Amino acid sequence: MTYRALPAAALLLAAAAILFPQQPAARSPLADLKAVPPVRACSELSNADLSAAVGSKVRIRESSEVADGRPAPYCRVLGTIEPAIQFEVRLPLARWTQRYLQTGCGGLCGNLNVNVGRAEGCEPATNGEVALASTDMGHSNGPGRGNADPTWAVENPQSRIDFAYRGVHLTAVAAKALIVQYYGQKAKYSYFSGCSDGGREALMEAQRYPGDFDGIAAGAPAMNFITQNTFYHGWNAHVNTGADGKPILTADKLPVLHKAVLDACDALDGLKDGLISNPPACNFDPAVTICKPGQDASQCLTAAQANTAKEIYAGAHDAQGHKFVISGPQPGSELFWQGVYVPQSAGGAIFSEGIALGTIRYLAYAKPLAPTFPLADFRFDQANFEAISPMHAIYDATDPDLSKFAAGGGKLLLYHGWSDPHISPLNSIAYYTAMQRSMGAAKVAQFSRMFLFPGGSHCNGGDGPFDFPLLSLLMNWVEGGAAPDAIVASHSAGRGSAPDRRRPVFAWPDVAAYKGSGDINDAASFERKPGPAVPPAKLAWQGSGFYRAGYEKSEIPR
């Protein structure tokens, strides 16, 4: 087999091998796959019969050429899988190099979003050589609807199953069938990439349908969906709402809180650089921010605000110490609370309340609640945790036994930002640990890697280097066997600006440690060190038993 010249992402891997010689260099770049032309006209796909392949009635609504498509012209196919799964497939008109990529959908989805992100240096993706697809997962948000108003779950009960797992899987089946009809052959390699709920969808595919994809990238996965969208967001909105209905902790105080966290924990990793590399080791008490007599009120917090911050860090719990989420956001994430559970303005709505209410009313229980059910009536106690737990078997993606996925040659890349305000990265650590416990660490290392990014926010952005060539890393691994153990991430001040900081990130649990000299914004100034273990107590919560094999169900519990 011959190979094309190294793309930019492979060069980054090679650079990482030079900087960190204890790691082997990438053995090979992407496979050199010949371009395959279509064997029929795009317009003919409107008559394609996919129902037998998919196992459900499929209707093609449109098949048309998009001459000005980016990055290259493509054949756009829109279709519906009964009862209401909408999908879009984009098939390159001139240069398809035998690859298929399906992209995930965030939030509660409800729209078609073919979004190829983190494709730097991935020539097949940036040149328009990959067949693409995405799905709305069985429902449409429609005008005025959003994640806070999933009334579609009542209007069409099947949509709950389609959102949970069916929509993504059947879209993959339909897209692959279209590829065969359009090009006369199957894709050589199939990939899935998603973040947030898209990360949950990614893990769901590896767990329920291990043969769908050769390579899967799961970012900040909302794997514990049923508690994430109820207890996590609901708690943060609850503790930040005063008796007067107004927010207690306001956005203007977040920089004060963040500075106090950095003062306490920034230097724990041996380098004061504005980033916390191991947040679980940061034992920060917000009480240190409480205003002292005569202190400028803009530079400190009230006792009530400090207590709210303490409760947000702690996560949902009861008086007996039962934890109903694995944790709240990690220390260092404070600036990114704004717009989530700390409103943009003092009189603004709390976004997390809307997220929680949509799930609580329509998705969290076997029988949907009244559309007027208030968050004040949602109980943060053991009985209510047990009441929503049956839906874990439908929506959650926490099965740690990926033996079938691994046996088929599948590769799984997990990534998470340490400063994620929406989903605690401890969820990802708990899942990866459960995989190692279930399958053995050596077996997991053969097919999976996880990367945690200091200062990385939710899916992208943040204070720390969080830009990296995800798709190239995944494709190089699947097609060339180049397991990504050391990558170089970058940070830029704004879109389009040159990187102002580069930092190596190593496969968990290893971390990047400053050598003691050199530019702290230069990746060459860091070396690989074993990372500190996360204490088991940090990963213990009422849902610890969720991480087991075989819990999945296919129908809504009655």
Which tens digit of pLDDT belongs to each residue from 457-477?
999 999 999 999 999 999 999
Tokens linked to 384: 């209510």
> Are 214 and 191 within 8 A, CB to CB?
yes
**Whole-number pLDDT of residue 142:** 58
Q: Quick one: 136 and 79 in the same domain? A: yes
Q: Quick one: 231 and 158 in the same domain? A: no
pLDDT digits 0-9 by tens, 474-517: 999 999 999 999 999 999 987 778 899 999 999 999 999 999 99
Over residues 264-269, mean pLDDT? 96
> In the Cβ-directed half-sphere of 209, how many Cα atoms lie within 13 Å?
22
Q: Please state, rounded to an integer, the average pLDDT across all residues of the chain.
A: 93
Residue 262, domain member (yes or no): yes
Q: Quick one: 48 and 132 in the same domain? A: yes
Q: Quick one: 101 and 240 in the same domain? A: no
Q: Quick one: 257 and 182 in the same domain? A: no
Q: Quick one: 171 and 274 in the same domain? A: no
Residue 159, domain member (yes or no): yes
What's phi and psi for 355, nearest 5 deg?
Answer: -60, -50
Residue 81, domain member (yes or no): yes
What's the number of domains the chain is made of? 2
**Whole-number pLDDT of residue 95:** 94
Q: Quick one: 182 and 74 in the same domain? A: yes
Q: Quick one: 161 and 236 in the same domain? A: no
Q: Quick one: 181 and 274 in the same domain? A: no
Over residues 301-319, mean pLDDT? 98
Residue 143, domain member (yes or no): yes
* Least confidently predicted of 63-67, 79-83, 490-494: 490-494
Residue 528, domain member (yes or no): no
pTM of the model: 0.93
pLDDT digits 0-9 by tens, 345-389: 888 899 999 999 999 999 999 999 999 999 999 999 999 999 999
Position 145 confidence tier, pLDDT thresholds 50, 70, 90? low
Position 146 confidence tier, pLDDT thresholds 50, 70, 90? low
Of 358, 393, 428, which residue constitutes the final position of a domain?
A: 393
Over residues 146-159, mean pLDDT? 83
- Whether 27 has a pLDDT exceeding 50, the answer reads no
- Whether 338 has a pLDDT exceeding 70, the answer reads yes
Q: Quick one: 131 and 248 in the same domain? A: no
Give strand ranges (E) for 199-278.
Answer: 215-219
Residue 127, domain member (yes or no): yes
Q: Quick one: 237 and 159 in the same domain? A: no
**Whole-number pLDDT of residue 381:** 98
Q: Quick one: 238 and 341 in the same domain? A: yes
Of 187, 218, 243, which residue constitutes the final position of a domain?
A: 187
Domain range for 267 is: 227-393
- Whether 14 has a pLDDT exceeding 60, the answer reads no
pLDDT digits 0-9 by tens, 193-215: 999 999 999 999 999 999 999 99
- Whether 34 has a pLDDT exceeding 60, the answer reads yes
**Per-position DSSP letters for 332-394, written without gaps between them:** T-GGG-BTTTB-SSTTS--HHHHHHHHHHHHTSSSS---TT--GGG---SHHHHHHHGGGHHH
Residue 203, domain member (yes or no): no
Of 159, 187, 215, which residue constitutes the final position of a domain?
A: 187
Residue 437, domain member (yes or no): no
